[in-house]
Amino acid sequence: MTDIMDTSTPPRTEDHDVPENITKAYWRENLSLMGILLTIWFAVSFGAGILARDWLDQFSIGGAPLGFWFAQQGAIFVFVALIFVYSFRMHQIEKKYGMSDDND
């Protein structure tokens, strides 16, 4: 899947130190995933619902002005999706680095 998996010994999961390069790579992937999701979090609420709402209101979704809709409904739907995407992606990342807690 990635170069990390090819160059290092298989990571161990129980009662051992995880090699440092693995934890670093894991943490970097976690942070960049977080960065992307938090950008979306900011964009749909503070962006679409507050800062850019006047401009967005020229469009509409059903019978509601778009900016107003984001502030009252849209942002909340996106928030829910963001958490599940994070949970799902983190599960994949943890599996990739042998850090899954599935069997706990």
Partner 1 sequence: MDPTLLWTAFFVIATFGLYIGIAVWARAGSTDEFYVAGHDVPPLFNGMATAADWMSAASFLSMAGIIAFSGYDGSVYLMGWTGGYVLLALLLAPYLRKFGKFTVPDFVGDRYYSQAARIVAVICALFISFTYIAGQMRGVGIAFSNFLHVPIEIGVIVGAIIVLFYAVLGGMKGITYTQVAQYCVLIFAFMVPAIFLSLQITGTPIPQLGFIGNAENGTPLLLNLDRTLVDLGFQPYTEGLKSKIDVFAIALALMVGTAGLPHVIIRFFTVPKASDARKSAGWALVFIAILYTTAPAVAVFARSNFIDTVNESTYSQEAARGDIPAHDLPEGSTPGWFYNWENTGLLGFTDLNGDGRIQYRADPATNEVTTLDRDIFVLANPEIGGLPAWVIGLVVAGGLAAALSTAAGLLMVISSAVSHDLCKKVLLPNMSETQELLIARSAAVGAVLIAILAGIYPPGFVAAVVAFAFGLAAASFFPVIFLGIFWKRMNKEGAITGMATGLLMTGAYIVHFKIGFSSIVMGVLAVILAISAFILFMGTRSEGKSTPALLYAAGGFALLGLLGLIGVLPSIPMGTSDQWFLGISPEGFGTVGMFCSFAVATIVALATKAPPQEVQDLVEEIRIPSVHAHPVHTDAPAE
Which residues of this protein are in contact with partner 1, per CB under 8 A?
13-18, 23, 26-27, 34, 37-38, 41, 45-46, 49-51, 57, 60-65, 68-69, 71-73, 75-77, 79-80, 82-84, 86-87, 90-91, 94, 99-102, 104
Rg from Cα positions in the chain: 19
Taking 3-state DSSP, the helix, strand and coil percentages for the chain, each rounded to the nearest 5, stand at 70, 5, 25
The residue (of 4 and 51) whose beta carbon lies closer to partner 1 is 51
Instruction: Give how far the C-alpha of residue 85 lies from the chain's centroid of Cα atoms, to the nearest Å.
Output: 6
Asked if residue 50 lies in contact with residue 36, where contact means CB atoms within 8 angstroms, the answer is no
The residue (of 7 and 87) whose beta carbon lies closer to partner 1 is 87
CB of 9 to partner 1, least distance (A): 16
- Measured N-to-C along each axis, helices 20-42 and 75-96 cross at an angle, to the nearest 10 degrees, of 170
CB of 70 to partner 1, least distance (A): 9
CB of 76 to partner 1, least distance (A): 5
The number of beta carbons lying within 10 Å of the beta carbon of residue 9 is 7
CB of 3 to partner 1, least distance (A): 20
